[in-house]
Structure 1
Amino acid sequence: MQYFPLFMDLTDKAVLVVGGGEVASRKTEALVKAGARVTILSPEISATLRTLWQDDVIQWIQQCYDSAFLTRNYVQVWATTDHASLNHQIYADAKLLGLLVNVVDDQPYCDFITPAMIDRGAIQVAISSGGASPVLARNIRESIEAILAQNLRVLAQFCGEKREHLKAKRPDVSARRRFWEAFLADPMVKETRDPAVLEHMYQRYLAEPEQVVREVVWVVCDADVELLPMKAVRFMQQSEQVLYHQDIPPEGLDLCRRDAERAVFDSRAQLQDLLVKARDETRCLCIMVTAAEFQAVADLRVTGERQFGSGVYHRE
């Protein structure tokens, strides 16, 4: 992973965009939407940028590029001119001041890159190919965007408004997480765009006593993790604790809940010791084993504990 993914707060932060053409216009519109204070440095600017400038949304320095215009007040510098040599000079000058630089469409001269974005208000999904294939990233974005609910903007705003209220009602972190999981899984919550309906459902779930339900699932996972059934993956993403054999592929572990407690084992005896405590303390427990290892530990599975397998297939 060459680039570390993060979202940067640009609210009221100074950003310099060198260039005034179509590329500068696209980047500036996105930066303004994120709340940045954008300054354009260019002798000429597009009609879009001129409108933003006339509306006092951005600042415009009507000059050709000069390193004297660079200062440490800027948190980002964007080089968007049509001249590669000039963009590279901007990059070099900015680096002398320790500034973050993006030379558009020139990955070796980028401290950061911009992903393909899905915007649902507070919910943002970013897809990046690390600069290798922007078109592929855009295609993936379109595929994901087609399946995301349109009410996410309203839903995210509602959940944000209720965070402090729920903290007072459910002081325990795990209890709050389980509340939100149940609330967000409700079909009515998934579909509605009406805040009044969300409020009604919120109060209904809040009034219901929390039921302690323990569930243990065994997942047989081998090299081809795409063969895992959807039910297994859903449970893996809900599990509070994951016990996994040392031969489980990293791709399999990546499908588990990121903040789940994890413990590795390499023998039947180790797993048996881990299970004694985990079954009593964990509400949602996932045990991941390879097909070869499952034969040695299958008798440790007790009545009621479900099993999912990645399956086996043959190609002619």
Structure 2
Amino acid sequence: MQYFPLFLDLKGKPVLVVGGGEVASRKVDSLVRSGAIVTIVSPQIDPFLQKLVEDGECIWVQNFYSQDLMNEKYIQVWATTDNPELNHQVHHHAKSLGILVNVVDDQPYCDFITPSMINRGRIQLAISSGGASPVLVRNIREKLEAALPQNLSLLADFGASKRSDIKKVMPSVDLRRKFWERFFALPQVDSATSSGELESAYQGLLANEVDDAGSVTWIDFGEDVELLPMKALRYMQEAELVLYSQDCPYAFVDLVRRDAERETYRSHTELAERLVAAREESLRIVVFVSPNSNQHNLLKQRDLHLALATTR
């Protein structure tokens, strides 16, 4: 992984953009939307930027760039001119002050890059190839745009509005997580078009006790991660503990929920002992096993009395 993915809070923070053309317009538009205090340095600027300046959305220094305009107060610096030599000067001056800098379309001179974004209100998805293939990223974005429901913004706003309320009802983080997993899996929530519909589903689910019991799901990892069934993927996203053999390709493990605990087992005995301990903690467990493994029968013979849900 070449770049560390990060969403940065720029609200009220100063950002310097050198250049005033079409490229600068795209960057300044996103920066202004994020609440940054943008200063543009350029003798001339595009009409779009001119309108932002007139509306008080950003500051324009109507001049050629010079080193004295670089200041440690800036959180980010963007070099967007069509003059590579000038852009590299901006990069050098920013680096000398320890400021993160991006020279647009010149990856070796970038401390950070901007991903392709999908916005659904509070929900933001970032897609990046590390600058390797913008066209591939665009294709991925198009597929995701078509697949993602349009009510994601509504769902996110509703979830945010209930953060305090749900804590009063369910003080446990684990219980709240399980509640929201059940809530967002409801068909009426998936198709909701109003907060009233979501409130009805929310109150209905609150009336039912959240199942806090643990479970064990066996998943054959096989050779092709793309052959995993949807049901297996759902269990993998709900798992709190993942146990996998040393021969399991990590591509399978990597699809499990990010905050799940991951452990390798080296023997049937070690796996059996870990399952017993996890059962006492009421954890939801996923165990990756080889399709040719006889671990299922061996563990049953050990009489663990676990409720096994087999996913094939």
After TM superposition, give the deviation of residue 245 of structure 1 in Å: 1.1
1:298 aligns with 2:297: yes
After TM superposition, give the deviation of residue 13 of structure 1 in Å: 0.7
Matched position secondary structure for 1:74 = coil
Matched position secondary structure for 1:11 = coil
Give distance in 1, aligned partners of 2:295 and 2:36. Answer: 59
1:5 aligns with 2:8: no
Instruction: Identify the residue that residue 264 of structure 2 maps to in structure 1.
Output: 264
What pairs up with 1:165-314 in 2 under 5 angstroms?
165-292=165-292, 294-301=293-300, 305-309=308-312
Contact map agreement 2:20 2:41 (CA 8 A) in 1: yes
> Which amino acid letter does the alignment assign opposite residue 20 of structure 1?
G
> Which amino acid letter does the alignment assign opposite residue 48 of structure 1?
F
Instruction: Identify the residue that residue 20 of structure 2 maps to in structure 1.
Output: 20
Q: Pick closer, same or farther for the CA change 1:151–1:296 going to 2, 3 Å.
A: closer
Matched position secondary structure for 1:158 = helix
Q: TM-score, normalised by structure 2?
A: 0.95
Contact map agreement 2:217 2:311 (CA 8 A) in 1: yes
Instruction: Identify the residue that residue 31 of structure 2 maps to in structure 1.
Output: 31
> Which amino acid letter does the alignment assign opposite residue 298 of structure 2?
D
Superimposed CA distance per residue, residues 247-302 of structure 1 (whole angstroms, 9 cap, x where no aligned partner): 2111111011111122221111111111222234334221112234x224533146
Contact map agreement 1:77 1:102 (CA 8 A) in 2: yes
Give distance in 1, aligned partners of 2:23 and 2:130. Answer: 19
Mean CA deviation greater in 220-229 or 230-239: 220-229
Matched position secondary structure for 2:140 = helix
Give distance in 2, aligned partners of 1:23 and 1:135. Answer: 18
Give distance in 2, aligned partners of 1:239 and 1:289. Answer: 15
Give distance in 1, aligned partners of 2:64 and 2:167. Answer: 54
Contact map agreement 1:268 1:297 (CA 8 A) in 2: no
Count of residues paired in the alignment = 308
Superimposed CA distance per residue, residues 145-181 of structure 1 (whole angstroms, 9 cap, x where no aligned partner): 1111101111111111111111121100100001101
Contact map agreement 1:23 1:80 (CA 8 A) in 2: yes
Contact map agreement 2:212 2:282 (CA 8 A) in 1: no
After TM superposition, give the deviation of residue 223 of structure 1 in Å: 3.4
After TM superposition, give the deviation of residue 304 of structure 1 in Å: 5.4
Contact map agreement 1:21 1:46 (CA 8 A) in 2: yes
What pairs up with 1:83-232 in 2 under 5 angstroms?
83-232=83-232
Q: State the identity as a percent.
A: 52
Instruction: Identify the residue that residue 312 of structure 1 maps to in structure 2.
Output: none
Give distance in 1, aligned partners of 2:168 and 2:310. Answer: 38
> Which amino acid letter does the alignment assign opposite residue 101 of structure 1?
V
Give distance in 2, aligned partners of 1:122 and 1:175. Answer: 24
| Structure 1 spans left out of the alignment, 5+ residues | 310-316
Matched position secondary structure for 1:251 = helix
> Which amino acid letter does the alignment assign opposite residue 69 of structure 1?
L
| Structure 2 spans left out of the alignment, 5+ residues | none
After TM superposition, give the deviation of residue 95 of structure 1 in Å: 0.3
What pairs up with 1:25-64 in 2 under 5 angstroms?
25-64=25-64
Say what the alpha-carbon RMSD is for the aligned residues.
1.5
After TM superposition, give the deviation of residue 201 of structure 1 in Å: 1.6
Give distance in 1, aligned partners of 2:75 and 2:211. Answer: 49
